[in-house]
């Protein structure tokens, strides 16, 4: 299976490079994030799909056995209990491809990140 590509020009191109089932999961992640942060800009950063709103908001990517979701360290700490069933690291969580992605949790994490980025933007003024 394809992994993150240095040649993806945009999010559509990145997602199109994966098999149907993985593509469906990536599109679900994209839709969920876009619903929460419709004003966020879609881009490729670090060679993976990224949403930016007053700086990076969240990233996500497909791998052989999981979807990587990168909301940053503060979100991982804030949602530690809800993420306890998943492999996490400092700023990332892995959602196994053999289980449904918890889109409600993704939604809450993105809402948290939007609030953080907007507060930071207001403070930096």
For the segment 31-57, what is each residue's pLDDT rounded down to a tens digit? 999 999 999 999 999 999 999 999 999
- Structural domains of the chain, ranges and CATH numbers in brackets: 11-118 (3.90.1150.200)
Q: Whole-angstrom Cα distance, residue 117 to residue 54?
A: 6
Looking at residue 120, its pLDDT comes to 84
Least confident of 6-10, 67-71, 72-76: 6-10
pTM of this prediction? 0.92
Quick one: DSSP state of residue 97? T
HSE at residue 54, side-chain half, CA atoms within 13 A, is 14
Q: What integer pLDDT is reported at residue 5 of this predicted model?
A: 54
> 68 φ, ψ to 5°?
-90, 135
Please state, for a pLDDT cut of 90, what percent of the chain lies above it: 86
Q: How far is CA 7 from CA 40, 45, 48, 101, in A?
A: 22, 12, 10, 26
Distance, CA of 51 to chain centre:
8
- pLDDT number for residue 124: 73
């Amino acid at each position: 299976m394809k992994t993150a590509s240095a040649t993806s020009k945009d999010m559509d191109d990145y997602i199109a490079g994966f098999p149907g089932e993985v593509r469906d999961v990536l599109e679900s992640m994209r839709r969920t994030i876009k619903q929460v942060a419709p004003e966020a800009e879609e881009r490729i950063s670090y060679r993976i799909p990224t949403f930016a709103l007053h700086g990076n908001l969240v990233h996500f990517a497909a791998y052989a056995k999981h979807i990587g979701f990168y909301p940053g360290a503060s979100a991982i700490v804030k949602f530690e209990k809800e993420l306890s069933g998943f492999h996490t690291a400092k700023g990332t969580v892995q959602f196994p491809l053999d289980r449904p992605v918890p889109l409600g949790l993704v939604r809450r994490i993105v809402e948290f990140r939007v609030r953080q980025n907007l507060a930071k933007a207001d403070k930096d003024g």
